[in-house]
Amino acid sequence: MLEDWLIEVRAAPTLEALEALRVRLLGKKGELTRKLKALKDLPPEARREEGKKLNEAKHVLEAAIKERAEELKKAAIAERLRAEAEDVTLPGLGFPAGNLHVLTQVMGELVGIFERMGYRAVLGPEVEEEFYNFDALNIPPHHPARDMHDTFWLKPAPGFEARFKRPMLLRTHTSPIQVRYMASHTPPFKIVAPGKVYRHEATDATHEAMFHQLEGLVVGDAITMADLKGALLSMARALYGPTARVNFRPSYFPFVEPGVEFEVWWENPKTGEGRWLELGGAGMVHPAVFRAVDDLREEKGLPRLYEGKTGFAFGLGVERIAMLRYQIPDIRYFFQNRLRFLEQFREEV
């Protein structure tokens, strides 16, 4: 009897099973308890002997249950430790750091160069009025220069016609910022304006439908072409080192007179070969632009300030500068968002 019970106790698989067994044997109506209760019906002689045996059995059983309980508790703790163990040798989860897009970096560097020369950086809208993008810049409706800027025109969504008081487009260059800034500021000043521009044209290795320009505008008294050349030469030296050279070729933009295209001498650091690379357009602000600005100011009730002023403006392609610097062969790489390309321009921190 006792032997069988002890075997059962030692085999109890869980603490719950052990407790059920304890109740079955030693509970109020337990098997052993009932036997103890039945002692009173025995004759005195047998009762003493049987009582002694049963009480011993009870102690042995209690001790065995206690021992098994300890064993099971220890096993449960060991199992929990095993299940919850952390493998400290596993490689951690990575949180890759992002980086600024290479064009954002180059744009920031360009703006910084001009800020150190006393220029203020300003922004203009990408959704622009035809008036600021063309008319105020001396490009009238049927001027052939408009064809050089294949334009994305905007249509109002149904119900929003009233918001389109004047024809709207995606700006084709950053030059409209010149007009916006002059209309609300008093010269003398020096500004640069970086931003995205859009042209509805076929894409190839050097042309995109969306690209970035940096506009510059300086207005004051007795500003000359020499100031323009000095500013762009300083920029070229800051970008490409003290031996950088800039060349100016006569060119035509309706909003400057005279107008130039400027190019920098660029030497391939690997082959040592050099060539002139066109970066952008520039020139002296055309009197017709100053007149348009004064007319606009007058409409707004502001004094005419620009007649008799002088100034220069320039606009350059930012992708060009980045492509030169990093020898990127195709402008389309900038906007394909391939990490293998973009991660090459991670800034060290």
Q: Provide the minimum distance between the beta carbon of 280 and ligand FA5 in the complex, in angstroms, as a whole number.
A: 4
256-267 and 168-170 as β-strands: parallel, antiparallel, unpaired?
Answer: unpaired
User: What are the residues whose beta carbons fall under 8 Å from the beta carbon of 255, sequence distance 6 or more?
Assistant: 137, 138, 139, 175, 178, 283, 285, 286, 288, 289, 313
The residue whose Cβ lies closest to ligand FA5 is 317
Of 133, 138, 213, 310, the one binding ligand FA5 by CB under 6 A? 213
Residue range at the interface with ligand FA5 (CB under 6 A); choices 12-20, 30-38, 97-105, 275-283? 275-283
Among 208, 219, 235, 309, binds ligand FA5 (CB under 6 A): 208
How far is it, in rounded angstroms, from Cα 175 to Cα 131? 12
**Does 253 engage in binding with ligand FA5 (CB under 6 A)?**
yes
Site residue total, ligand FA5 (CB under 6 A): 25
**Nearer residue to ligand FA5 within complex by CB, 208 or 294:** 208
Q: CB 187 → ligand FA5: shortest distance, Å?
A: 17
Distance separating alpha carbons of residues 133 and 62, to the nearest angstrom: 97
Q: Is residue 334 near ligand FA5 by the rule CB under 6 A? A: no
Backbone torsions φ then ψ of 171, nearest 5 degrees: -55, 140
Distance CA 44, CA 176 (A): 121
Stretch that binds ligand FA5, among 11-19, 76-84, 293-301, 312-320 (CB under 6 A): 312-320
Contact code string over 166-185 relative to ligand FA5, x by CB under 6 A: -------x-x----------
Q: Which of 124, 194, 311, 317 binds ligand FA5 (CB under 6 A)?
A: 317
Helix 2-11 vs helix 44-83: crossing angle, to nearest 10: 10
Q: Is the dihedral of CA 339, 101, 232, 181 positive or negative?
A: positive
The arrangement of strands across the sheet holding 153-154 comes to: 127-129, 168-170, 153-154
| 3-state secondary structure at position 15 | helix
**Shortest Å distance, C-beta 216 to ligand FA5:** 8
**What is the nearest approach in angstroms of ligand FA5 to the Cβ of residue 315?**
3
Judged by phi (left if over 0) then psi (alpha if -120 to 50, else beta), residue 35 lies in alpha
Least separation in angstroms between residue 162's CB and ligand FA5 is 31
Q: Does position 283 bind ligand FA5 by CB under 6 A?
A: yes
Q: What is the rounded CA–CA span in Å between residue 283 and residue 261?
A: 8
List interacting residues with ligand FA5 (CB under 6 A). 173, 175, 199, 201, 207-208, 211, 213, 253, 256, 259, 278-283, 313-317, 319-320, 331
